[in-house]
Structure 1
Amino acid sequence: MKIDCRDLACPRPVIETKKALENLKGNEKLEILLNSQASKENVIRFLKSLNLEFYVNDLDDESVVSIVKYGNMDQIQEQNLQDYNVLFLKSDKVGEGELGKNLMLGFLKTLKDLPSKPKKILCVNDSVLINTDCSHMAFEAMKELENLGIEIYSCGACLEFFGKSADLKIGKIGNAYEILNELFGKAKIISL
């Protein structure tokens, strides 16, 4: 089976991959055609969450991810979500103007000293810019959090909107499927 996920907006490539896997018969091969770095990383992370073996063939501006389904896919489950905290950032500031930028910096710097840190930080809208620009006032604070082991994800569609997909310096490219899984999972969501 082959599915064409080229030019599909996030999170469609992950959703189409999930549907195709559910319909795949035993020992049948699935090929996923992709032409965006964000989509490729999101599909790969999704397949890893299912503990599936796959291989990637990169061709010029496209990639083909191939999987062979062995056994019963009903036995494959995504990672169980445990109780943990997730920080959801919708902006690169908390409030407006210079005060808002200073507040974001203060919150991120203080976060590293808290006894209960988030497991993940999910960045959407212009908060993704913190992770792409070394000169952003909150960049170093976010980098410190990553160095502490906090998983940081920047929305792939947001990065593409700002033309910053290739500039990501902190964390990984995320997608709406993962973000919604967190928001509706067992995680406690803290939003700034």
Structure 2
Amino acid sequence: MSENKIVVDARGDACPIPVVKTLKALGTLGGPGEVETIVDNKIAVENLTRMAGSKGCTSASEQTGEKEWHVVTTATATAAVEVAAGEPEAAECYVPAAKNVVIQVASDAMGTGDDGLGHKLIKGFIFSLTQLDELPATMLFYNGGARLTCEGSASLEDLKNLADAGVEILTCGTCLDHYGLSEKLAVGEVTNMYVIAQKLIGASVVVRP
């Protein structure tokens, strides 16, 4: 356990207060140390984890009750200086969509007719997702769509932005193997057809561009 540690009770606090409180606590550490934040919902845990990564800190979380999580954010000396120089009031948080929207991408081109046009369309579609107020919960990539999550993809930066915003990015492992891309995945995680089936069955809305 770190000797330089602050405990923050953020139970009952709405977004983005847990993040703001944690940032302020990190700023008062004055050097390497830990901030343990107690929250009562999973979304707060996800927001704190994202914040830690953006500030160069590490984080670990543990659920200790039905509605209680402890999130420990650990700051190095460099991270502590960065946090102290920042503005906690500017903290943002991700609020998931009310609907469980799943987008399934089966090709690296959108529509049929002209593949060159289709590549431009799918790139535009994925960029447009980053501009929406309500984001999808999950994006599933399989068959030719697996190319979009790999090195060299024109949509990689937009997909990374979506992942940072909390969108789950999953790519079929069998498809990566088939196209020789197993070592090229650059965003999200590898998945299998069982998980893909679960995600589709559990979705409230499925969109296929």
For the pair 1:148 / 2:159, whether they are aligned, the reply is: no
Q: Distance in 1 between matches of 2:194 and 2:162?
A: 23
For the pair 1:93 / 2:115, whether they are aligned, the reply is: no
Q: Distance in 2 between matches of 1:159 and 1:99?
A: 24
- Secondary structure class of the residue paired with 1:99: helix
Q: Distance in 1 between matches of 2:124 and 2:181?
A: 25
Report the alpha carbon displacement of residue 186 of structure 1 after superposing the two structures with TM.
3.9
Which residue in the other structure is 1:103 paired with? 121
Quick one: which of 126, 137, 140 aligns to 1:122?
Answer: 140
Q: Distance in 1 between matches of 2:99 and 2:158?
A: 25
Using structure 1 for the length normalisation, give the TM-score.
0.54
List runs of 5+ in structure 1 lacking aligned partners: 1-81
Quick one: which of 186, 192, 195 aligns to 1:175?
Answer: 192
Q: Distance in 1 between matches of 2:177 and 2:171?
A: 11
Q: CA RMSD in A?
A: 1.5
Q: Is contact 2:105–2:140 with CA below 8 Å preserved after alignment?
A: yes
Q: Distance in 2 between matches of 1:175 and 1:87?
A: 16
Q: Letter of the aligned partner of 1:93 in structure 2?
A: A
List runs of 5+ in structure 2 lacking aligned partners: 1-97
Q: Distance in 2 between matches of 1:186 and 1:110?
A: 21
Q: Is contact 2:171–2:190 with CA below 8 Å preserved after alignment?
A: yes
Report the alpha carbon displacement of residue 127 of structure 1 after superposing the two structures with TM.
1.0
Using structure 2 for the length normalisation, give the TM-score.
0.50
- Secondary structure class of the residue paired with 2:169: strand
Q: Distance in 2 between matches of 1:185 and 1:146?
A: 20
Q: Distance in 1 between matches of 2:118 and 2:155?
A: 11
Q: Percent identity?
A: 30
- Relative contact order, higher structure (CA 8 A, sep 6+): 1
Structure (1 or 2) with the larger CA radius of gyration: 2
